[in-house]
Structure 1
Amino acid sequence: MAGPRCASEVRPAAFIAVFWAFFATGSSTAQVPLLIWSSDGLPPLAVPAAGHITSHDQLTSYLTAAFGHSPHTVLLFLQDKLSKDDFTVFGGVFGNKQDSAFKNLEAALQSSSSSVTLPALEWSGSSAILTLLQEKLGVSPLLVDADTLSHLSINTSVSNLLLINLPYCTGSHKSCMEVLHNNDEIIGKVLNIMKAKNVQYTAIYTGLQPSRVIPETSVSDQSVGRSLLQAADTVREPIMFNVSGAPCIMLWAQNLNVKLSDASAWIDLAQQTPSLEGSICNGSNSQLVLTYTSGLTLSFAMTRRFYRVSARNWFTLDSVQLQSNGLTASYTGSRGIYAPAEYSFHCQSVTNFQNALLVPNNTNQNTSQWKLNFTDFQIQGFGLANGTNFSYASDCAGFFTAGIWMGLLTSLLMLLIFVYGLHMIMQLNTMDRFDDPKGPSISVPQSE
């Protein structure tokens, strides 16, 4: 990682040299490089030890300091794939600058007032960088290209996030060298347009995902083995409420994200340890109350009922309540959060704002502004006979999706056409009388 550098101190070869130096150390399997340069300055960043992997939290902290509260225009060059290997293989690392596929990128780093290089940024998902920039700038991205940008009027009094998508080689039609060279030409055109418009900007170049997975190399001479097992991440235990020592309610989620306003950041309650005081459980009603030290309270109310149509007991998630500073927002799960009473309920995404399974119970301002987003969510309020394990999960994803229905209806239509055609062919009959060409011809007498 390199800190801010003055334009007079940066040489074109130094950009590639930074990456070459970091290849002398071990590297993780999920990393993408990230380059930041600006025409109006960036805050300083200390240079860490070689081989350091920049975490998502460290990047978040730096971008907070970089963008602050004043408006910024950010150019995000987002390539489909990118790894450090791309710079070492296609960057002219052997001294031949004519072979470099990143000439315009090197020139931009050299001419910028300051720049920051992150050779190894922890990769946590294809949309992580874009989502982070949206939160820091408070604007949605605008997808542009060089031609569109040349005719675009940029309002510098507000923040702007301009997204430029760049492809990556697939091995089917173009070599990686040619694709990266074309991408570099696009970067050069975009920067020249911004210079012609006299707009101050901050540019970021990174990838949606790594282009290569690099095996991790150990740099320690100490014996590993058991220490690797001890250092391995353990799976977080589910939240469990017990009655008289017996499990009664169980909940697990990868993320329990809540957001109290458009300007505030997401809060992941799954990373905190809650108090279960106030939770209740019996044969027909269960309520799990999660109280956190941050002042937030999240509660889930479930009911067990017998339905005559199916002749079995079902449980439903009747309401989800979020409380903060004496204010309450309540949502119902009547749109699809239900399962047989002896099952658990699982859904990959439970939200109240997009494909919402949580519907507001009232129309107060808190209910409309607060946002809930539960990822890999699973809950069970009844029939926990397996102790610390969930019962069989009833998933929210239906089997007959829109695509399956379209395929079935199209196949049925084609089958009907085939049957109709076959029926028409079966109805064809051959003629039972034919003209005999060898028989006597018909003579027609003519009268005088």
Structure 2
Amino acid sequence: MAFHKFFLPLILAVLGTNCGECAEFVPVYMWGTNKMSEHVPALHKISEDSFKDTLLEYLKDDPYVLVFAEHTLSPEDFAQHDQNGETAFPKLYELKKQKQHVTYKPYVQNPIGAIKQLDKDVTELSIASLLSTSDVPKKNILIIDLNDAKDDEQRFHMLKRHDSDIVSIYKDILQQHKNVLVIYTAHHTSWVAPEEVTHRKLRSLLQEPAEDKEDTGIIFNKDNVLLYLTSNGEFSSRNDSKKINITKDFEVTVSGSDNYTVSVKHDSDDLEIEIVITFSNSTRYWYINSIATTYNRQKIVLKVSKDYFAPFGFSYHCGGFNLTNERRDISLLLPGFQIQPFVPNATFGDAYNCVGFTSVPIWSGLFVTFILLLIITFGLTMMMDIKTMDRFDDPKGKTITISATE
């Protein structure tokens, strides 16, 4: 019982705080007949409670509150222009020239909710129903819903039409009430952009493509072996050079518990190629022992570097995986090559790349920097070795005589 009395209000308070943080921030454009004290917030964004306190100060003079609520609105809508350089709110901007007291708050949290929390009678109407009748509710707060977008209407033209309707309704209300406060805002924001980067941006070496790009690669997954190519390979011999269309069906042969042999085939009318990759493992690493191709029923062993390895749980990746035989008359190119044997699940681990951390551009930059430092050091040393004069002639005294030994 004590648990519920103590912890339940605390949990509800935390949940309420989180929901408040998740609320959207929308712009608020306010003007009125009476002078409004401009409150400069300490933060860039104004919370719902702070905006409610501001409204309570404005309501001390008991004005007629007229609220125009768009479905979506953002500060970017106030900044956009058409081809003629005109904004979507020319009449709202003219209110400043008409000596109306205008204030603008670009980011306010849930202003409609703050208005409804005021201890005032609230009436909600659509813009269409208000324009069709001349009777205006006499309640303290009138919220007019501007969600009347047409199917073939652009957003810029819709906002411009609303701009004209807002000023027209305001002038009609002004004839009935001497003290009027008008608020133009929205329920949701129309421009959504992430404010904080919640993940690190890494150079992707895995088979997963970027979000805005379609992955056209080929991925193989069979018997705890993963193989990936960004596109079809290319086989070149002394006589011809042909693209090879590798199918997604490939064979895996396991000899014992440590060795794998992967066989990827390309079979066409004029070319038959089989790529055989053999793996072995040690205590902590796995290695590519050999890669061979079968070209027109003739086995060709390709040169394999000792650097084709990775720790367990990691994959090996090379953007341009190009292998040749000893005589260099046959070459095999596998673009975006990535492979990993002994995979516990169906996903690639972090990749060991064939290009080391100190690549050719990095070495070039270090070499140029070293030469520059050497030149600067030599110049400073020569400047520090310059000896200045320490004896000067006195025109009224005896002439200084310097011997050859000095």
TM-score (norm 1): 0.36
More strand by share: 2
